[in-house]
């Protein structure tokens, strides 16, 4: 066995951390590629939309045809600047693109247009939460580049290349090695996804490849400051895979170090089907790419007006929303975390709270119904942004108001909500048509309670002799007497007064 063993599955105790693992500190830096949702590509006019027939969304520029010249897409620049401002980066007033040389079939020019020594954004911080604790990861840079095409491997040893993705604009978000666990890494990527979706610059669909993550993983003895040798993990396309790939790589490296072997700096692929990382190639250094300034593009100059316009267009970012929800909104961190996880959920909640404020429905009540009833019926939370949703925010608040005012019981409210969802009707219409309104009139309830008590003298004697649990029997009898429409709280209060002789 050598130090470049492809998969940890060949080592003892593959399913558990190596002996003495606790003596190591995990150090992780992440590179997240966000594919920008601009209408056209970064340097040409072809559509950047996902899903076209293979090689249908191409043009001479993205195919690297001789004599073609790139033209920078202003919308791509605006997206990167807005992202940088949202995380507190320093936006460079002047930056430029460089040629990053490498040869793969999916990069027809033999180089990628990227940014090297002059990225558009420098520094910044991404905030997120892990098990209730706030974490902060520093950013090295955010830079722009063009995406490569996609190699498709078919049966019989044939490979094809789809260039639709070639030339689509990317923001690469490079972190400092501040992450200390696989769980933190997954939550960091989740936070970035929520951020770029809130900004509207990336759809965040990891399965389609519009948000991709590479993880640089290394170990060092606890207490040391010098970084260990890292391995870069590629092909990570879900939060679960981020966590699983890093956990496996940590075990692999720990097993090597425990045996006195060294970790090789290399690029490894995550094989999700088999649960292992696989050696792909030795890790490249900057000089391997032979960077030099792109001669066909002038330096990009960003003036103060462009910055001011970008800053003015920023929405409230997820972590600021979280702070507002747990602060003035009075929500628990758990509920607030659910609401800010997707832009559409938070937008739905804010719209509902705005309506609720006019009729006395609190944010906490709205959150309870949204999380427990609405989200339970939505297979994809992004549907909440659709105009054809069966229950719109205003309709949900009207239902909550009926429950809070006592017109409907909690159980009735849930039954009405189910009908609102399937029948696309407002709560008030269903209540009026079906006669579902809860009886809360004091006189009516007192009469029903007297009838029940008059019919059960023996139970009254037992209750007064100390069988307090019989109150449930009396309440149930009154509910039956009123066809289930009596207000249970009012019934309970009246019964106790009557039974105590008041």
Predicted pLDDT at 7: 38
CA 16 – CA 254 distance, rounded (Å) = 11
Same domain, 141 and 65: yes
CA 327 – CA 370 distance, rounded (Å) = 19
- Give me the percent of the chain exceeding a pLDDT of 70: 93
Residue 308, domain member (yes or no): no
Residue 3, domain member (yes or no): no
Same domain, 404 and 475: no
Sign of the dihedral through C-alpha 384, 386, 391, 394: positive
Q: What is the mean pLDDT of residues 135-139?
A: 97
Same domain, 66 and 211: yes
Q: What is the mean pLDDT of residues 249-261?
A: 94
Is the pLDDT assigned to residue 387 strictly greater than 80? Answer: no
Q: Which of 434, 450, 466 is the last residue of a domain?
A: 434
Q: Which of 266, 301, 336 is the last residue of a domain?
A: 301
pLDDT band at 407 (very low <50, low <70, confident <90, very high): confident
pLDDT tens per residue, range 202-239: 999 998 889 999 999 999 999 898 999 999 998 788 99
Residue 411, domain member (yes or no): yes
481-486 long-range contacts, Cβ below 8 Å, gap at least 24?
A: 481/448, 481/451, 481/452, 482/439, 482/445, 482/448, 485/436, 485/437, 485/438, 485/439, 486/438, 486/439, 486/445, 486/448
Same domain, 429 and 451: no
Q: Two tokens at 95?
A: 């930056």
Residue 465, domain member (yes or no): yes
Same domain, 261 and 203: yes
Same domain, 83 and 189: yes
Q: Give the chain's length.
A: 502
CA 130 – CA 424 distance, rounded (Å) = 38
User: Which structural domain range is residue 359 located in?
Assistant: 316-434
Same domain, 395 and 453: no
Could you give the number of structural domains in the chain? 3
Q: Which of 434, 457, 486 is the last residue of a domain?
A: 434
Residue 193, domain member (yes or no): yes
- Reduce the DSSP state of residue 278 to 3 states and report it: strand
pLDDT tens per residue, range 160-173: 999 999 999 999 99
CA 341 – CA 345 distance, rounded (Å) = 7
Is the pLDDT assigned to residue 438 strictly greater than 70? Answer: no
Residue 15, domain member (yes or no): yes
pLDDT tens per residue, range 12-26: 333 444 444 578 999
Residue 195, domain member (yes or no): yes
Same domain, 104 and 211: yes
Is the pLDDT assigned to residue 489 strictly greater than 60? Answer: yes
Same domain, 383 and 246: no
Report the Cα 357 to chain-centroid distance in Å. 28
Is the pLDDT assigned to residue 1 strictly greater than 70? Answer: no
pLDDT tens per residue, range 470-487: 888 988 888 888 777 777
Cα 282-286-291 angle, rounded to 5 deg: 130
Residue 168, domain member (yes or no): yes
Predicted pLDDT at 439: 67
Same domain, 290 and 426: no
Which CATH number is 447's domain given?
Answer: 1.10.10.410
β-sheet bridge partners, residue 278: 269
- Mean pLDDT is lowest, of 49-63, 277-291, 359-373, for 277-291
Is the pLDDT assigned to residue 287 strictly greater than 80? Answer: no
Report the b/e string of 16-55 with b at 16+ CB within 10 A.
eebeebeebebbbbbbbbbbbbbebbbbbebbbebeeeee
Predicted pLDDT at 161: 94
Q: Are strands 133-146 and 150-153 parallel, antiparallel or unpaired?
A: unpaired
Q: What is the mean pLDDT of residues 269-295?
A: 82
Q: What is the mean pLDDT of residues 275-293?
A: 79
Same domain, 327 and 372: yes
Same domain, 136 and 195: yes
Predicted pLDDT at 213: 94
Predicted pLDDT at 59: 95
pLDDT tens per residue, range 71-127: 999 999 999 999 999 999 999 999 999 999 988 888 889 999 999 999 999 999 999
């Amino acid at each position: 066995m050598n130090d470049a063993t492809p998969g940890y599955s060949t080592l003892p105790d593959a399913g558990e951390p190596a002996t003495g693992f606790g003596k190591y500190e995990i150090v992780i830096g992440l590179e997240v590629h966000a594919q920008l949702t601009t209408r056209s590509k970064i340097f040409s006019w072809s559509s950047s939309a996902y899903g076209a027939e293979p090689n249908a969304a191409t043009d001479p520029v993205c195919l690297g045809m001789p004599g073609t010249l790139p033209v920078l897409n202003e919308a791509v620049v605006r997206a990167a600047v807005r992202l940088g401002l949202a995380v507190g980066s320093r936006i460079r007033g002047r930056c430029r693109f460089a040629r990053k040389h490498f040869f793969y079939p999916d990069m027809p020019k033999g180089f990628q247009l990227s940014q090297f020594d002059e990225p558009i954004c420098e520094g910044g911080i991404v905030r997120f939460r892990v098990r209730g604790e706030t974490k902060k990861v520093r950013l090295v840079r955010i830079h722009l580049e063009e995406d490569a095409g996609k190699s498709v491997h078919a049966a019989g040893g044939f490979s094809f290349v789809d260039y639709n993705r070639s030339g689509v604009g990317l923001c690469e978000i490079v972190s400092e090695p501040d992450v200390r666990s696989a769980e933190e890494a997954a939550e960091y990527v989740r936070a970035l996804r929520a951020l770029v979706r809130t900004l509207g610059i990336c759809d965040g669909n990891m399965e389609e490849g519009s948000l991709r993550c590479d993880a640089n993983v290394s170990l060092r003895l606890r207490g040391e400051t010098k970084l260990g040798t890292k391995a870069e993990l590629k092909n990570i396309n879900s939060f679960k895979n981020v966590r699983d790939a890093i956990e496996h790589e940590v075990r692999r490296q720990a097993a090597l170090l425990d045996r006195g072997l060294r970790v090789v700096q290399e690029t490894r692929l995550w094989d999700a089907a088999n649960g292992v990382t696989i050696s792909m190639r030795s890790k490249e250094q900057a000089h391997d790419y032979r960077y030099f300034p792109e001669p066909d593009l002038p330096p990009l100059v960003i003036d103060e007006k462009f910055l001011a316009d970008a800053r003015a267009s920023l929405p409230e970012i997820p972590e600021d929303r979280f702070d507002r929800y747990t602060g003035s909104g009075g929500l628990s961190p758990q509920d607030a975390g659910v609401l800010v996880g997707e832009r559409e959920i938070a937008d739905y909640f804010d719209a509902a709270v705005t309506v609720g404020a006019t009729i006395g429905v609190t944010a906490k009540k709205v959150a309870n119904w949204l999380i427990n009833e609405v989200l339970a019926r939505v297979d994809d939370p992004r549907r909440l942004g659709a105009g054809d949703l069966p229950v719109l925010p205003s309709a949900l608040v009207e239902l909550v108001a009926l429950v809070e005012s006592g017109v409907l019981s909690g159980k009735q409210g849930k039954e009405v909500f189910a009908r609102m969802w399937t029948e696309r009707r407002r709560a008030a219409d269903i209540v009026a048509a079906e006669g579902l309104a809860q009886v809360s009139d004091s006189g009516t309830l007192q009469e029903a309670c007297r009838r029940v008590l008059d019919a059960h003298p023996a139970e009254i004697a037992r209750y007064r002799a100390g069988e307090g649990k019989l109150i449930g029997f009396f309440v149930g009898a009154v509910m039956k007497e009123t066809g289930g429409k009596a207000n249970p709280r009012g019934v309970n209060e009246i019964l106790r007064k009557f039974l105590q002789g008041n």
